[in-house]
Structure 1
């Protein structure tokens, strides 16, 4: 069963977003630049991460083309509509096989996309990372991004020193989508994840789930992050001047506070966002 590899959060001010996530209790990594022009900063956990991503004004973004999904063009176009959670990424051990399966399932006819970039360790030294991506499209929700990610040099990417967060966060455990008819997305999500859907509209993943709730239009609502204790997180957020809502077993930071993302801190893996 696949797990959530990362979530892509599109922002207009990368450093401003990084500062806000730091106030939330996360350790935010340094700025990186993709070969196609977008820039990101990463919040890393043990097996998953949050990717804060922005499009610089001078970025030369390649367009979409037949058989080619442009990651940069998708993020640019998303930011023209809104900021927020733009893409959900699942783990992969073979992106080429995923791309072939997506084509067979009728949810994506794109070549796998491999890219490499220079990364930075906590001490500032350079490291080399490479990824292959396989993209899929939900025809009922074309404004939402989905792909799988295969890491070719995981030992160069995952770093324990980057995974120590003041809030104690250890994983992304769930993503929630809103849609007018949640059941319309079950077929796509089952094909994308390789897991059967359940009722209410939910797709299980290793260590979490994707949940689809009723809403006015297809959109990612937010994601969950696992922490060891909720009380210290709530106190720290309030001390930082961040408004939170406490519900049963979770602490919520609403989208108007967090660049269009509803972030839920939980103590146990859950799909509730």
Structure 2
């Protein structure tokens, strides 16, 4: 198994009630950031780790969402349409050092012909003072997995975004570990992921290893398909189990992992795992 050049940048978790989801993730033991608003109608709250983050997202003002158009992927429209069907893990995002170049690369590889998408917004430092962050996104699509979207994200002011204060979580979580995608045709989706992750093109690879101990797992579609599971690294799963019991959150313990099922976790299976 060869390691791709990219790492998991973040996961986009679509929820219908952003405040309820934020409260739930706090009960899980995460530090959840304040609400942010996008000019295209979505709103988010962020759970930041050492080199990745979770983006809890909802639709705030549907009237602001632009439609999809030739060559333009509408982030807001995808989230809106996803939430019309379900809640859950809607988008997998890897890092990028040059999203414009990646957009050209995705077009050459036949996995996305979309213009790069630049946006910026104000942010808050831990002391409450204002800061400025900006991003450029390059999208890729696998038609065989319609319930998921994939893109890479270039951060233009990373020092204004990443902050150790935001990365301290009561449950000890340090990073996103793995993501599971279910596809009707896993072999075809593996070819897509080889192009998307920039990993070596190993035939029928069930797992793509990423930088910073991350990985993407491919499985045969069991239900709706798409991105169904993710894990976070924690130092002590036993301590997580105690926290969940105290919070009244159901879980299943298996070996060195604790799982909160999708039915209890806004549509996605969440695994707490110890780092190996």
Q: Shorter-chain TM-score: what band?
A: over 0.9
Would you say 1:112 and 2:119 are equivalent positions? no
- Pick the aligned partner of 2:214 from 205, 208, 217: 208
CA distance in 1, matches of 2:177, 2:126: 25
Deviations along 1:172-200, whole A, 9 cap, x unmatched? 01100112332221110100001134766
CA distance in 1, matches of 2:178, 2:119: 27
Range with bigger deviation, 137-146 or 92-101: 137-146
Contact 1:38 1:59 in 2 (8 A): no
Look up the match of 1:29: 33
Contact 2:146 2:226 in 1 (8 A): no
Unaligned runs of at least 5 residues, structure 1: none
SS in structure 2 opposite 1:93?
Answer: coil
Would you say 1:147 and 2:151 are equivalent positions? yes
Matches within 5 A, 1:93-112: 93-112=97-116
Matches within 5 A, 1:37-186: 37-186=41-190
Would you say 1:2 and 2:2 are equivalent positions? no
Q: Cα–Cα, structure 1 residues 256 and 198, in superposed 2: closer, same or farther, change >3 Å?
A: farther
Would you say 1:219 and 2:226 are equivalent positions? yes
Pairwise CA distance, 1:122: 2.2
- Pick the aligned partner of 2:251 from 220, 228, 244: 244
Look up the match of 1:264: 271
Contact 2:41 2:61 in 1 (8 A): no
CA distance in 1, matches of 2:178, 2:31: 20
Contact 1:62 1:70 in 2 (8 A): yes
Task: Give RMSD over aligned pairs.
Answer: 1.3
SS in structure 2 opposite 1:127?
Answer: strand
Contact 2:11 2:54 in 1 (8 A): yes
Q: Cα–Cα, structure 1 residues 132 and 11, in superposed 2: closer, same or farther, change >3 Å?
A: same
Range with bigger deviation, 96-105 or 201-210: 201-210
Contact 1:29 1:43 in 2 (8 A): yes
Pairwise CA distance, 1:201: 1.3
Unaligned runs of at least 5 residues, structure 2: none
